[in-house]
Chains A and B, each alone.
Chain A
């Protein structure tokens, strides 16, 4: 079974500093990886995805993620954090099913707190 792990429950960073939210994955075959953000009592918003190609993926709101096959990681990054980036972040992987369909497996989430 495919899985993702987010080793940090919470990450604190000062406004203006670079931020990194970590994600590692375990898959068989080529990974399809995603990052989402969730604000309180809201649904998840898509940030970016890695399907194939360039290992550095750029997404919404200035976020990017680096796919590293040798380290099986897909860390989310931003060069300069904003207080408004404070939210819950989820990493996800798409898992193929025997029926030929897919489901999406989510990590446990990392709470990002950007301090003014």
Chain B
């Protein structure tokens, strides 16, 4: 079955450490997105990518980095510069940037800073 796989499901990090969240899709989608979810704040866009080797900052990109070396993969690194990284992170994809349809989401990764 096609879908989006995020790993790990749960991750604990000590302050000062970088961590990388994995996002892989086998839907043959061009566009991929990373969102951060905090209670009562909805989803906020961190980074997005429309094609391989290209990505753009979203609304809250500070302290995060991404890469898009393959169409299927869009990993997110939470760096030590991110002051409040504890959150639920969601990866999503869509067919193309011009597609008028919905986003498809992974199951999320919950990051906790100890």
Instruction: Using CB atoms, name the residue of chain B closest to A99.
Output: B56
Give chain B's interface residue range (CB within 8 Å of chain A): 20 to 34
Q: Distance in Å from the Cβ of B96 to the closest Cβ of chain A?
A: 9
Q: Could you tell me the distance in whole angstroms from the C-beta of A1 to the nearest C-beta in chain B? A: 10
- The answer to whether B105 touches A41 (Cβ under 8 A) is no
Q: Do B108 and A41 have beta carbons less than 8 Å apart?
A: yes
Residue of A42, A43, A107 with most chain B CB atoms under a 10 A cut-off: A43
- B-chain residues with CB within 8 Å of residue A45 when the two chains form the complex: 105
Chain A residues with CB below 8 A from B105, complex form: 36, 43-45
Q: Contact between B104 and A46 (Cβ–Cβ < 8 Å)?
A: yes
Near A by CB (< 8 A), chain B positions 7-66 give 31, 33, 35, 40-43, 45, 48, 50, 56, 58
Choose among A41, A46, A51, A103 the residue with the greatest number of B CB atoms under 10 Å from its CB. A103
A4 to chain B, nearest CB (A): 9
Which B residues form the contact surface with A (CB < 8 A)? 4, 6, 31, 33, 35, 40-43, 45, 48, 50, 56, 58, 88, 90, 92, 97-98, 100-108, 110
Closest 7 A/B residue pairs (Cβ): A43-B105, A101-B97, A106-B43, A108-B42, A46-B102, A44-B105, A106-B42
